[in-house]
């Protein structure tokens, strides 16, 4: 049995978008729109597998869009979105997941907070969707004339991924097959009486429906919200003959002690990146009490932090780390350290700074008892939006 599977629905033709190429395969920031969403789910630690439902004619387009990604083989969809979701759900029967997240391929900016919120809600309810409260005044009209003003109280804008307990939503889709008036999976659940909770959505989680939407999405990548995060870490020396600093092994008359490989440089950089996107600290993602991280290489932690940035549609602009110790000497290894950090993060070499300094014999580093590191990271996220739910929490 699998825990959680993301089912990305990409079988549509995008007729409202126009053009010969389905919108999910249009390029956004140099990559197909679909690829951005797939990576978001692949990078989330609570998602065990990702499957895509595609149009039967799009096998080559999908192969190019998902090249190099560890996704399950795609399955063909049906004549409608509802048919496609049902066929996708049925294709997962052999995996028997506990929960499933159903996501529109045209939403490239889904972030880890939304994914986590939906998954966590499924612990207490059969279904959950991210949503935003309606803030605009709503009008009902006919023949280009207003016929009524609609009360917007208790109205919400639904987003994806929409999450469900797998067996429940599969049964619901089978029972509702042929009901053409059901516009999303929450409506399918509602039709059979399954409770569906609302969890915080985000204005960033836009759906690319028109050419204008794609232009807005491009602007989010081009500009964006510039964030800065700070990181600090300390490890003490113990018996040994090697230290690992910024991913580089250096011969020394002692080693650094810690639950993982005690790479104080990568730990500080990891915390700086996590801080820039308000995702806690390294210990909240990789608890020292968890035996699976004993002796782990710290590049695992750094890659995870970078994946959280990528899942939010962002990018890391620059990192800078200062290693504070009397010994070993940092200067001879500085270039190798910068290259290693750049390789881990996929950054150009001039976007990584590594420095070494001493405390002039003062304090624990001056006494040679350990090494400290401080780091700063610059992260660019999609343009900021006022997310009412993120500030106030889910509806009560």
- Residue 391: phi and psi, rounded to 5, are -85, -30
Strand ranges, E, within the chain:
4-10, 27-28, 31-32, 49-54, 75-76, 99-104, 127-133, 138-142, 145-150, 156-158, 162-165, 196-200, 225-238, 242-245, 248-251, 255-256, 315-324, 352-357, 370-381
Give the DSSP H or E segment for 218.
Answer: helix 211-222
CB 246 within 8 Å of CB 265: yes
Return d(Cα 247, Cα 113) in angstroms, integer. Answer: 29
pLDDT value at residue 179:
82
Rounded to whole angstroms, the maximal C-alpha distance in the chain is 83
pLDDT value at residue 288:
83
Six-digit token string for 241: 């003959």
Six-digit token string for 242: 């090697």
Which domains are seen in the chain, by residue range?
4-143+154-222 (3.90.550.10), 225-381 (3.30.1330.50)
pLDDT value at residue 247:
94
Query: Would you say how long the chain is, in residues?
Result: 396
Six-digit token string for 361: 């014999």
pLDDT value at residue 217:
81
Contacts of 193 (CB under 8 A, 6+ apart): none
pLDDT value at residue 59:
95
> Peptide bond before 161: cis, by omega within 30 degrees of 0?
yes
Burial class (CB in 10 A: 0-12, 13-18, 19+), 93: exposed
Six-digit token string for 208: 């690319």
Six-digit token string for 296: 């782990």
Six-digit token string for 85: 């979701």
> Peptide bond before 254: cis, by omega within 30 degrees of 0?
no
pLDDT value at residue 30:
77
Contacts of 9 (CB under 8 A, 6+ apart): 52, 53, 77, 81, 84, 85, 88, 102, 103, 104, 105
**Tens of pLDDT, residue by residue, the chain (396 residues):** 679 999 999 998 765 555 678 999 998 877 899 999 999 999 899 999 999 999 999 999 999 999 989 999 999 999 999 999 999 999 999 999 999 999 999 999 898 999 999 999 999 999 999 999 998 999 999 999 999 999 999 999 999 999 999 999 999 999 999 887 788 999 999 999 999 999 999 988 989 988 888 888 877 766 667 899 999 999 999 999 999 999 999 999 999 999 889 999 999 999 999 999 999 999 889 888 888 888 889 999 999 999 999 887 788 989 999 999 999 999 999 999 999 999 999 888 788 999 999 999 999 999 999 999 999 999 988 654 333 233 333 332
Give pLDDT tens digits for 76-105.
Answer: 999 999 999 999 999 999 999 999 999 999
Strand, helix or coil for residue 206: coil
């Amino acid at each position: 049995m699998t825990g959680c599977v993301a089912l990305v629905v990409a079988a549509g033709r995008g007729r409202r978008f126009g053009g010969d190429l389905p919108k999910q395969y249009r390029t956004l920031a140099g990559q197909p729109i679909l690829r951005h969403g797939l990576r978001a789910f692949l990078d989330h630690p609570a998602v065990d597998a990702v499957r895509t439902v595609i149009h039967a004619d799009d096998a080559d387009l999908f192969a190019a869009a998902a090249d190099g990604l560890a996704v399950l083989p795609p399955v063909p969809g049906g004549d409608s979105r509802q048919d496609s979701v049902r066929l996708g759900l049925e294709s997962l029967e052999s995996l028997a997941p506990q929960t499933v997240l159903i996501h529109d391929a045209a939403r490239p900016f889904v972030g880890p907070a939304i994914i986590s919120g939906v998954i966590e809600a499924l612990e207490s309810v059969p279904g959950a969707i991210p949503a935003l409260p309606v803030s605009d005044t709503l009008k009902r009209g006919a023949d280009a004339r207003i016929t009524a003003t609609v009360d917007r109280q208790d109205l919400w804008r639904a987003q994806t991924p929409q999450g469900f307990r797998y067996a429940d939503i599969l049964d619901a889709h089978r029972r509702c097959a042929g009901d053409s008036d059901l516009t999303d999976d929450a409506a399918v659940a509602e039709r059979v009486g399954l409770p569906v909770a609302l969890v915080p959505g985000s204005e960033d989680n836009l759906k690319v429906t028109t050419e204008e939407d794609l232009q807005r999405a491009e602007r989010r990548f081009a500009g964006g919200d510039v964030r800065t995060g700070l990181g600090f870490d300390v490890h003490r020396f113990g018996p040994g003959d090697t230290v690992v600093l910024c991913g580089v092994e250096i011969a020394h008359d002692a080693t650094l002690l810690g639950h993982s490989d005690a790479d104080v440089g990568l730990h500080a950089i990891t915390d700086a990146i996590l801080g820039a996107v308000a995702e806690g600290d390294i210990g909240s993602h990789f608890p020292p009490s968890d035996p699976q991280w004993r002796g782990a290489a710290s590049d695992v932690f750094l890659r995870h932090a970078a994946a959280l940035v990528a899942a939010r549609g962002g990018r890391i602009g620059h990192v800078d780390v200062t290693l504070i110790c009397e010994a070993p000497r940092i200067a001879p290894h500085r270039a190798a350290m910068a290259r290693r950090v750049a390789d881990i993060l996929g950054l150009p070499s001039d976007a990584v700074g590594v420095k070494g300094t001493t405390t002039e014999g003062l304090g624990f580093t001056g006494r040679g008892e350990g090494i400290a590191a401080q780091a700063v990271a610059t992260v660019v996220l999609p343009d900021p939006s006022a997310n009412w739910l993120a500030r106030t929490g889910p509806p009560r």
